[in-house]
């Protein structure tokens, strides 16, 4: 099979027209390089959400009138779309407020039901706070203990070290599939093999992988996969947990309310089957419809093509920054859509502020990964992250802004 062609310049230019947020209020180009934080939304997603909020709107799972039935079909159709996007089944998809809530769901339901004193959880040095703090909470509550897997010299999760560290006391491994700071890509199938060899479960934080590469939970052989819609060009306030059906079926409810019940009496309540058991209350109806529209948008373009195009931008930016003697690059050369760096004598916050004056938006800070910052020995990094709409013009503007910043600070 031939390799997928990268998106050509004309295609990217045409795609940029789908995103109304990529211009300033006065109509100038906005060089948005913070997609890892949240992606801009294409018109197709905005329109889908507007229709769902307007002429199509009704509640789901409750009304006997036709529009409610139609909206219920749309909501459950969105579940099916997200399942297909991940390579799973629709009864394995739980809609959540985002990846953070999805991880907390697993922690509160599976974790509290299965962890006990002496059990161990393996995390890695590069995890987002959302994949650290919940496990600290459940460890404190259950008596489990946490181990931290180190990184390789090129800042990837060291699976050789993980292989040595894992024992039959480990019950869960929770790894980021793609680092939100470094862009390093985990070898998910190998991580799953190592995890399952000791009888543990593998959770993958897919926030940065789902928008940038093909995802297939069957191929990954993970047990849980979480991600957020707003990273995938969709709305905020919704995400998804995928879990193996046999695991999900055995997990107890973690929130109580409407929709997640079978029968309620004051003496006893029985619960609906998964995934409804984990969706208490009125769900994010319009957000789910827009979430599906975002997945369809990415699928139509092709994640393989997106990845190849972003890889070319990453390679160019790393090459240009690597030629500067006062710049430190973090992460591997083949990072997925993300370039983190630091300039000697210039705080990332100062760089970000000066770049903003030239309509260039980057992320500057600890990126909700303070343990990783400690590991790297820096208080913060500057991070440029790409999306389907990113072009060489964005890289040009960033490099021009860096040159201006260096002049301001007397670095040239």
Burial group, residue 55, by CB count within 10 angstroms (0-12, 13-18, 19+): exposed
Query: Three-state SS across 236-303?
Result: CCCEEEEECHHHHHHCCCCCCCCCCEEEECCCCEEECCCCHHHCCCCCCHHHHHHHHHHHHHHHHHCH
Number of other residues whose CB lies within 10 A of the CB of residue 108: 20
Active-site entry in 149, 176, 207, 368: 368
Q: Phi-psi region for residue 123, left (φ > 0), alpha (ψ -120 to 50) or beta?
A: beta
| Residue 225 DSSP SS3 | strand
End-to-end CA distance of the chain, in Å?
49
- Give the tokens for residue 386: 């790409």
**Is 368 tagged catalytic?**
yes
* Ramachandran angles phi, psi of 299, nearest 5°: -60, -40
The beta-carbon contacts of 67-70 under 8 Å, at least 24 apart in sequence, are: none
Q: Six-digit token pair at 213?
A: 């590469």
Q: Which of 355, 332, 366, 35 is nearest to 211 (CA)?
A: 35
Element (H, E) at 170: strand 170-176
* Catalytic residue IDs: 368
């Amino acid at each position: 099979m031939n390799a997928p062609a990268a998106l050509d310049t004309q295609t990217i230019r045409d795609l940029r027209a789908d995103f109304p947020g990529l211009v300033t209020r006065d109509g100038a180009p906005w060089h948005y390089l913070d997609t890892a934080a949240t992606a801009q939304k294409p018109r197709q997603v905005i329109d889908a959400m507007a229709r769902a909020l307007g002429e199509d709107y009704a509640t789901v799972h409750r009304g006997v009138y036709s529009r409610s039935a139609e909206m219920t079909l749309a909501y459950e159709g969105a579940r099916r779309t997200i399942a297909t996007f991940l390579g799973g089944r629709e009864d394995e998809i739980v809609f959540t407020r985002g990846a953070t809530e999805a991880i907390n769901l697993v922690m509160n339901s599976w974790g509290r039901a299965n962890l006990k004193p002496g059990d161990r959880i393996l995390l890695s040095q590069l995890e987002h706070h959302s994949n650290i703090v919940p496990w600290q909470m459940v460890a404190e509550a259950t008596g489990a203990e946490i181990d931290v897997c180190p990184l390789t010299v090129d800042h990837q999760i060291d699976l050789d070290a993980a292989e040595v560290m894992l024992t039959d006391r480990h019950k869960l491994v929770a790894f980021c599939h793609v680092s939100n700071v470094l862009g390093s890509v985990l070898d998910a199938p190998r991580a799953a093999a190592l995890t399952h060899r000791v009888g543990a479960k593998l959770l993958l934080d897919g926030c940065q992988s789902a928008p940038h590469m093909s995802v297939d939970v069957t191929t990954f052989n993970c047990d849980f996969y979480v991600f957020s819609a707003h990273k995938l060009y969709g709305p905020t306030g919704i995400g998804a947990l995928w879990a193996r059906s046999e695991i999900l079926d055995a997990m107890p409810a973690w929130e109580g309310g409407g929709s997640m019940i079978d029968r309620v009496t004051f003496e006893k309540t029985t619960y609906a089957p998964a995934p409804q058991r984990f969706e208490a209350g009125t769900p994010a109806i319009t957000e789910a419809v827009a979430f599906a529209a975002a997945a369809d948008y990415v699928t139509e373009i092709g994640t393989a093509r997106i990845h190849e195009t972003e890889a070319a931008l990453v390679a160019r930016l790393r090459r240009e920054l690597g030629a500067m003697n006062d710049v430190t690059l973090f992460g591997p050369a083949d990072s997925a859509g993300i370039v983190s760096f630091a300039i000697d004598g210039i705080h990332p916050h100062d760089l970000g502020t000066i770049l903003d004056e030239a309509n260039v938006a980057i992320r500057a800070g600890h990126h909700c990964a303070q343990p990783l910052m400690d590991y790297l020995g820096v208080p913060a990094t500057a991070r440029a992250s790409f999306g389907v709409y990113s072009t060489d013009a964005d890289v040009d503007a960033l490099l021009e802004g860096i040159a201006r910043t260096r002049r301001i600070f007397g670095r040239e």
